[in-house]
Amino acid sequence: MRKTFYITTPIYYVNDVPHIGHAYTTVAADVLARYRRLRGDDVFFLTGLDEHGQKVQQAAAKAGIDPQTHCDRLAPQFKNLWQRLNISHDAFIRTTDAAHKTIVQRYLQQLYDKQLIYKADYTGWYCTFDERFWTEKDVVQGQCPDCKRPIEQISESNYFFKMGQYQDCLIAHINAHENFIRPESRRNEVLGFLQAQKLGDLSISRPKSRLSWGIELPFDTDYVTYVWFDALVNYISALEYLVKDGNGSRFWPATIHLIGKDILTTHAVYWSTMLMALELPLPQTIFAHGWWTVNGEKMSKSRGNVVDPNQIISELKDHDPFRYFLLREVPFGQDGDFSHDALIGRINSELANGIGNLLSRTLTLIERNTSNLIPTPSASAETELEAELRQACLELLNKQLPETMERLEFNRALEAIWRVIQLANQYVDKTAPWNLAKNPKDTPKFHTVLYHMAETLRILALGLYPFVPDTAKGLLTQLGMLELFYTNPFSPSDLNWGRLDSGIPIRKGRHLFPRIESKPQGAKTVSEPTASPQPTSTVTATTAAATPESQITIDEFQKIQLKTALVLSAERVPKSEKLLKLQVDLGSEQRQIVAGIGKKYEPEQLIGKRIVIVANLKPAKLMGIESQGMVLAAGDKDVGGLMTVVEDVPAGTKVK
């Protein structure tokens, strides 16, 4: 029997403009839903909108329209964003749905009939923005402790839910269920709150004289229900009317409620005690993640630094890099900081230079040497290098990904994938298939290397799919395997080595992740080089001792600008055995360099290498091709080796 997996996001407030926080929670939920579907679980993924409350009523009145029309106009902004982010939710709930209203009223009546709701007069400090009451000790200088906005004192009769009587039961449940509230810091936060003070009862109504836009109490038509009681019920109301086969009850209790840390109390305390009162099981896990800052500052409309996911997707012309960045950049659960430089850095170093480079190298070699067909490996040609790569791939699929995804350690899952990408690119460098291709005696070994490169890409596609689904499908399309993918769960063979069949044609397409150039103000471009005279394109070291006449001063040496450069592409110069034309990245710009290293290196061998160049040389033409720098290499007469950088330092770093 398939395991059920029910994951939810909060239902987002309809008046909000979708920002990075909304995208973060929803992408994380989507990753888990996609991963569990691949593993064969029976998945239900719910998201939606909270559409009632005083702020909606006020905004609609200001616009001169009724609240429902106001909500109908705003709802598409979230639906459209989820479509652009490739979110695979199974249902989208709106608290203005007629079925949801009926279910909320039914639960209210049940609690009222059980004498767990009572009416009482109340005087307290009320925050309209957060739509909640605060006690005297909570108020800070006449302001709401959460949003820091002014509050007002209100005296009125309201209905209260006897939340306080479940305090001890909730403490016991948290202590007995280690994973109920995660991460551990949030669990300790809730326990500290519950153990430090007596839990009061919860006002669950608002008089219609003050607020009419809400779900009417079934036992008193002069009141509507408190927006949080209405909103929290969505997690179970959706199962009654939005599960397509009509058997939604199998999904409760929810596997994971994903929320931001700002709504932890409402979920861990309000929702949990409501469920206890209704005699329903509590969710298995409530996971509260952190907030995003922007360049170290809190996001706010007044600062004008709210990150708009729609804008980023438009700028990148792709959603997958943004999805990748959100879950790669910081441990899930902690606060994170967003910057465009960090986003571009991840895209260039890990996506373009990592998986993109590996795919390009693999398909280019297959295209040129095996008639576009996946070659057949030879067991007799295998070495420890192949065994190491196979083992890393199998551990990724069968151990590292299951363990990290179970713990919601998305960044660790992506780190594990990244380690395999690095290992695969190192494998290519060590086996040097471009050299194997030259000798017919090496054909079995050559085909074995190519097969291992391609099969590693297939396995990486499986691991990447939940995070960057379109990229994974594009990768498999180019490997000729899209028809085998994956609306169905993994089969046992998918998780083993060798699923990629020999003889199938590849379909080489566009580069998965073109590099993104971030040009700061005043940066030089390829067409604006700074240079000095350049007699040749390659510098070689010499063993001859320098004579006094050939020695230079430190001031003279400091005029030479040595920088690291990342090789983006390489090709032979026509009619030259020696010259290669390189496109290199210097961080703030790209340049073309013609280098006399063609007898030592095949072009494919250089892609992805971090080399050292002389950056401030005047452009020179070699065989009619402009060269905008000089590559450093070692050798007396012939090139013996390139000067490369072992560490993954940023392109354009000065060499001292």
Domain residue ranges in the chain: 350-495, 538-642
Instruction: Give me the average pLDDT of each 10-residue run along the chain (656 residues).
Output: 93 92 97 93 97 92 95 95 97 98 98 97 78 73 79 87 97 97 95 94 93 96 95 98 95 97 96 98 97 84 84 94 94 90 90 91 94 95 96 95 96 95 94 94 96 96 94 91 61 81 90 71 30 37 42 74 85 84 78 88 80 88 85 82 77 83
Per-position DSSP letters for 143-196, written without gaps between them: B-TTT--B-EEEEEEEEEE-GGGGHHHHHHHHHH-TTSEESHHHHHHHHHHHHH
Q: How far apart are CA 352 and CA 343, in angstroms?
A: 12
Side-chain-facing half-sphere of 156: CA atoms under 13 Å: 20
Cα-atom radius of gyration of the chain, to the nearest Å?
31
Q: How many helices (H) and strands (E) does the chain have?
A: 22, 25
Strands 202-203 and 152-161: antiparallel
- Among 514, 564, 586, 488, which residue's Cα sits nearest to residue 355? 514
The architecture (CATH level 2) of 350-495 comes to Orthogonal Bundle (1.10)
pLDDT at residue 588 in the model: 63
Count other C-beta atoms under 10 Å from residue 240's C-beta: 15
Task: Kindly state the tokens that stand for 42.
Answer: 């029976």
3-class secondary structure for 314-372? HHHCCCHHHHHHHHHCCCECECEEECHHHHHHHHHHHHHHHHHHHHHHHHHHHHHHCCC
Contacts of 584 (CB under 8 A, 6+ apart): 565, 566, 567, 568, 590, 591, 592, 593, 611, 613, 629, 651
Helix-helix angle 184-196:167-176, to 10 degrees: 150
Residue type at 322?
F
Contact 381, 445 (CB under 8 A): yes
Helix-helix angle 469-478:357-369, to 10 degrees: 10
What does residue 81 show for φ and ψ, rounded to 5 degrees?
A: -65, -40
Within 4-91, residue ranges assigned H as helices are 20-38, 54-63, 67-84
Instruction: State the fold for domain 538-642.
Output: OB fold (Dihydrolipoamide Acetyltransferase, E2P) (2.40.50)
pLDDT at residue 518 in the model: 57
As beta bridge partners, residue 158 has: 120
As beta bridge partners, residue 641 has: 634
Q: How far apart are CA 583 and CA 594, in angstroms?
A: 9
For 437, the 3-state DSSP assignment is coil
pTM of the complete model beyond 0.75? yes
pLDDT at residue 534 in the model: 37
Greatest CA span in the chain, whole angstroms? Answer: 102
pLDDT at residue 485 in the model: 56
Count other C-beta atoms under 10 Å from residue 51's C-beta: 29
Query: C-alpha dihedral over 170, 173, 177, 181, to 10 degrees?
Result: -10
